[in-house]
Each structure stands twice: as C-alpha cells, then as structure tokens.
Structure 1
Amino acid sequence: MGFDVAYEALTDHEDDARWAYGTGFADPLSGVDTAVPEGVDRERLAAYCLMLGDDALILSHRLQQWVTRAPELEDELALANIGLDLLGQARLLLTRAGQVEDAGRDEDALAYLRGPHEFRNVCLAERSDADFAHLVARLLVFATWRLALFDRLAATRDPMLAAIAAKGVKELTYHREWAAQWVVRLGDGTALSHDRMRAAVAAVVPLAGELFRTHPVESDLAAEGFAVDPAGLRDEFDAVLAQVLTAATLTDDSGSAQDGRSAQDGRSAQDGGSAQDGAAGKNGRDGEHTPALAEILDEMQALARSVPGGAW
C-alpha cells in the first residue's frame, strides 16, 4: 500500500478501496437532478421517503446484530454487506426526505433525533429473530417485497427516487438470492433444520400482510406517478415465495406454498410469532410499533443523544 506503518494506512482516507462505506467513495447519484418536481405534495413525498428510509435503517441495524453469530464466516460477511447496502439506501432516502421537507433536518437528524412514534418503518423490520432460520425467513420476505417495489419505483417521476431505486434493485436482487438459498438449504436439509425453518416461516410470513396495505400517502402519490401502490406487488411476491418454499419442501399438507395470504392483514394472534413479538395489528406507517423499536433506538441513538451536536 506504500505506507511505512499500519497506522498511516488506517488514517489515510484517499484510498477508497479499503473503506467499505462512508469515506472516499464516488457519489452514486452524482449528476441526478435534486430539484423537487413541480406539482408534488412535498409533505407526502417527504413522508414516503421516510417510510422507505426507515425500513432500510431499522433492518440494517438488526442485521448487524448477527455479525459474529452467523453459521459461517462467509455468511457473517454477507450479512454485513447486506446491512451496509440497506444503510446506504437509508442514507440516500433520509437525505432526500430532508431535502423535500426543507425544514433543516439532514440524514443524521432524521436517524438519531426522532422518537419511536416518529418512525414509519414496517414492523417486520424491527422484530427480533429467535434463530438464524427466522433471520433468513424475514430477510427473504423483506427483500422479495422491496425488490418488487424498487423495480417499479425506478420509473417514478421524482428523478432522485428513481435513481435510488435503480441502484437498490441490484442490491436487493442479491439480498433475495442469499436469503432464498439459505431457506432452501435449511428447509431441504436435516430433520432439525427443516423443523426450524418451517417454524420460522410460520412465524414470519403471516406478518407480511402489513407490507401490502396501502397507506394514504402511497395511494395519493402513486396516482400521480411519484410512488408505488404496494397492494399491486402481492401477486409477484406470492409467486416468488411459493417457488422458494416449494424448493425448500416447506409446503403445507395440501401441497400449496405457505404464502401467508390467509393472514394478509397480519392481525391473527394465532399466526406463529405474531403474538409473541407484538406485531399483529400494528401499522408502522402510522407510527405504531412494537417495544422492539424503542430498544433498537436506545442503542442506535445513544451516542448522538449523549453528545448533542457532536460530530465524529
């Protein structure tokens, strides 16, 4: 590397090849028009960016908690990279939210200085994972839904959102593939791994109903070409999930994949795991969350709140 001591290498920020995120990298949205499109409701567009940004931020934090806990070193690296991808999406979306609302809040203020009731992420992103099978089941559900959403969002009338979505499609394709491979590996593995994967699917998939409930913000913006109505993603989601669960031998007794459509609204307390994590019936888009989100924010925001205005 051309350095006399290791410390010089660590403190030099010009060589971006050694930095995973945050310094010395090219702006992925360089050249994209940042102006807010004419005719759009700024308040609603800012809220929409917050929704998508909060989804990514909270799940990114959850994924990093699995680094050092995954079955193999390669998978720890994979989870770290997936978490970084989502963190990158969160930064771009929260920045865009701040630009659109024009109230002087940047990505840090939005990430670190809001309380749980102000976050707009889906509850699926905040729940904890009982084991690795729950983790990959949740990531499969989340990535399958978000990939379908971003694929359509790339055609939005907001150039910034379109560019963020186009970049995210490539990342989310990998996220979905990695999670699907593990679901199949565990589901079609040993008797123990099969049972654990089946239990995880039974707990997680019914919670997907919240992902497809159309919020008024989404409905209004979608009608104007600035957002995606999530209700229109359900068929694609079910088709992908059915294919994966069939390959993983995780179909029910009738032979149909456990796509969770019978629990589409996610409100049944009898769906495995729903009552346990408190997500049943919650609407994260309106600030209704489980106690898990407050725990995440206590950890994530501790430094920023202990040193107001600090920079590091």
Structure 2
Amino acid sequence: MSDDHLSLAADAAEGDGHWAFGTGFEDPLHGVDTTVPDGVDTAALAALCLALGDDALVSAQRLGEWVTAAPELEIELALANIGLDLLGQTRLLYARAGLLDGTGRDEDAYAYFRDADAFRNLRITEVPNGDFAFTVLRLLAHSAWRLALLRRLTSAPDPVLAAIAAKGVKELAYHRQFAADWAIRLGDGTEESHRRMTEAARALAPLLAEFGRDDSAAFLGVDAAEVAAEAREVWERVLGAATLEIPEAVAESADGRRGAHTEHLAPLLAELQVVARAHPGATW
C-alpha cells in the first residue's frame, strides 16, 4: 500500500489575500465599499456571483446530509465544517448579487424563495450523495475546479468579488486536500473500498464536462477550458495515486448553468426551503 497522502498545498494561492466580511451579521457586506468599478459588466457580474453562490449552497446542503450518517465522527465534523465554509461563501456571493442585479433581494430570498428552474448551479453539486466514495470524489472534483476558478477571480476588477475569491481559495485548498487524502486512502485500500471508488469515478465522469462549458466568468477573461484542464490534472493525479483507473470522459449535454437540472434538485430545495416558505418574513 502506498502513502495515502498526496500534498496539493503547492497548488494553493499564496499570500494573505483580503477578507470580504463586512461588520454586520445580517448583511455580510455591511461596511464594505460595494461600488462597481467602471467598465465592469454589472449584469454579467451578478450572474456569476449567483451561479457560484448556487454551487456553494447546493453543495453545502448535500454535505449537511452526512451529519449523523458519516462513517466516523471526525469525518462528520470535517464534512459539516466544509459545508459551513461553503455557506459562508454563499452568503457573500448572494449579498453581492443582490446589490448588482437591481432586485434588492437579500441572501434569504435567493436561497429560499426561488424554484429549481431559477437555480444556476452545476449538476455535479445536486446529484445525491451516494456512498462515502462518491461524496469524496465529488468533493475532489468540484473543489479542484472551484479552487482553480476562484484563484483566477482574486484578480477580478470588482474588489468585492476579488476579496470573496481570496477568502474562498484558502478554504477550498483544505477541501481539496481532505478529499484527495480520502480518495487515495480508499482507492488504495481494501478490495471493497477500491471497487466503490472505481464505481464512483465512473459515475462522476460524465458530470465533469460541465466544468469546461462554464463560461460565466468569460467576461472577466477567464478561460473555462483552462480552468477545467487544471482541475482535470488534479483529478487524474489523485486517481493515479489512488491506483484507480481514470474513466474516459463522456460528456453530458445538459447544462445546469442554463437551468437544465436533474430530477434531484427540486426535492433537495424543498427540504432546504420548507421552513422559510412556511413562515415567510420570519426572522430567527
């Protein structure tokens, strides 16, 4: 059995970055200068923040489903904390979107009072957790891609988005490393864990193509194919270290960024939104 740790730390962004948190709890951007710089496409910026916020919210909801169900308490706490990191990113991105799209909506309005067809998350975030092997590899794929994207957005002309991205890069570097460690441990583990990891990799392969089609940050000069290639390199490196066969990339044609979701998103949102919709306008 090989070493079950492959350090990906060198791939993470360096430097302190900037914190995007404001000074208020109800408004995460309270006290932050939210002026949009000249020359920035406000509508495109709002759409990007909304899409990335949707990815994070749906991913966090799926991770939350592991609470009380994870294989070990330590894993349960780790997955819960990763979910909380993503919820923090969601709050900041939704708050930014609400200031940009002209609707004046707050983060709760985006999270709780939109139907599935209004969400723009990638489909990989919404499919059910499956077993722990599937969750680990889904987390690896999505965090590797999101980290590659947010690293590029740290130099975005909008200082608020750049600050949110800088904060997210630090969190995602841990998410990716956690997933990589478990992928290697399980892939190069027992015959049963290897089998499950192999099945999970095959099941996820069609969903990875969506990364290369995501052009939501193109207006900022971000090349979707380049981001996807960087994430793919991490995916292949980790699977190789895990002694797993790298599945052939077979692309799905559906695109969550354009509202084409699986049948799994609506039930997930129904569970997430039920209390807020039963008591509209309530605060707690």
What TM-score, normalized to structure 2? 0.87
Residue in structure 1 matched with residue 37 of structure 2 by the alignment: 37
Match of 2:220 among 205, 219, 222: 222
Paired amino acid for 2:220: A
**Aligned partners of 1:214 and 1:229 also within 8 Å:** no
Please tell me whether the aligned partners of residues 29 and 163 of structure 1 are also in contact (alpha carbons under 8 angstroms).
no
CA 1:101–1:24: 2 relative to 1, 3 Å = closer
- Partner deviation per Cα, 1:61-91 (whole Å, 9 max, x = no partner): 0000011111111000000000000000001
Q: Report the counterpart of residue 272 of structure 2 in structure 1.
A: 300
1:28 offset after TM fit, Å? 8.0
**Aligned equivalents of 1:294 and 1:142: distance in 2?**
21
Residue 56 (structure 1) aligns with: 56
Count of residues in correspondence between the two structures: 262
Match of 2:13 in 1: none
Look up the match of 1:239: 233
- Where 1:303 maps in the other structure, the secondary structure is helix
- Please give the residue correspondences for 1:156-305 in structure 2 after superposition, counting only pairs within 5 Å: 156-215=156-215, 217-219=216-218, 221-223=219-221, 228-251=222-245, 257-258=246-247, 260=248, 262-263=249-250, 266-267=251-252, 281-305=253-277
Task: Tell me the secondary structure at the aligned position of residue 133 of structure 1.
Answer: helix
Runs of at least 5 residues in structure 2 that lack an aligned partner in the other structure: 1-22
Contact 2:28 2:95 survives alignment (8 Å): no
Separation of aligned partners in 2, 1:105 and 1:235: 35
CA distance in 1, matches of 2:64, 2:175: 14
1:307 is aligned with what amino acid? H
1:39 deviates by: 2.2
> Cα distance, 1:41 vs. partner?
2.3
Q: Which residue of 2 aligns with 1:11?
A: none
Q: Which has the higher contact order (CA 8 A, sep 6+)?
A: 2
1:155 corresponds to 2:155: yes
Instruction: Tell me, in whole angstroms, the C-alpha distance in 1 between the residues paired with 2:214 and 2:278.
Output: 37
Deviation at 1:169, TM superposition (A): 0.5
The answer as to whether partners of 1:32 and 1:159 remain within 8 angstroms in 2 is: no
Residue 67 of structure 1 aligns with which residue?
A: 67
Q: Structure 1 runs of 4+ off > 2 angstroms?
A: 27-33
How far has the Cα of 1:29 moved from its partner? 6.4
**Other-structure match for 2:99:** 99
Aligned partner of residue 297 in structure 1, secondary structure: helix
CA distance in 2, matches of 1:124, 1:239: 18
Residue 30 of structure 1, CA deviation:
7.4
Is the Cα–Cα contact under 8 Å of residues 144 and 240 in structure 1 kept in the other structure? yes
Cα distance in 2, alignment partners of residues 70 and 246 from structure 1: 25
TM-score (norm 1): 0.80
CA distance in 1, matches of 2:269, 2:139: 20
The 8 Å contact of residues 151 and 165 in structure 2, kept in 1 or not, is answered as yes
Deviation at 1:234, TM superposition (A): 2.5
Does residue 1:119 correspond to 2:113, yes or no? Answer: no
Shift of 1:237: 1.5
Structure 1 Cα separation of the partners of residues 65 and 255 of structure 2: 24
Name the counterpart of 1:84. 84
Question: Per-residue displacement from partner, 1:187-222 (whole Å, max 9, x unpaired)?
Answer: 00000110011110111133110011043x433x22
The whole-number CA distance in structure 2 between the counterparts of 1:91 and 1:214 is: 22
Amino acid aligned to 1:169: V
- Equivalent residue number for residue 9 of structure 1: none
Contact 2:133/2:196 (<8 A) preserved: yes
8 A Cα contact 1:134 1:201, kept in partner:
yes
How far apart are residue 231 of structure 1 and its match? 1.6
Percent identity (aligned): 56
Q: By how many angstroms is 1:32 displaced?
A: 4.5
In 2, Cα distance between equivalents of 1:240 and 1:56: 20
Taking the aligned partners of 2:32 and 2:281, their CA distance within structure 1 comes to 30
Which AA in structure 2 matches 1:295? P
1:54–1:121 CA contact under 8 A, matched in 2: yes
Q: Distance in 2 between matches of 1:297 and 1:241?
A: 29
Name the CA distance, whole Å, in 2 between partners of 1:201 and 1:161: 32
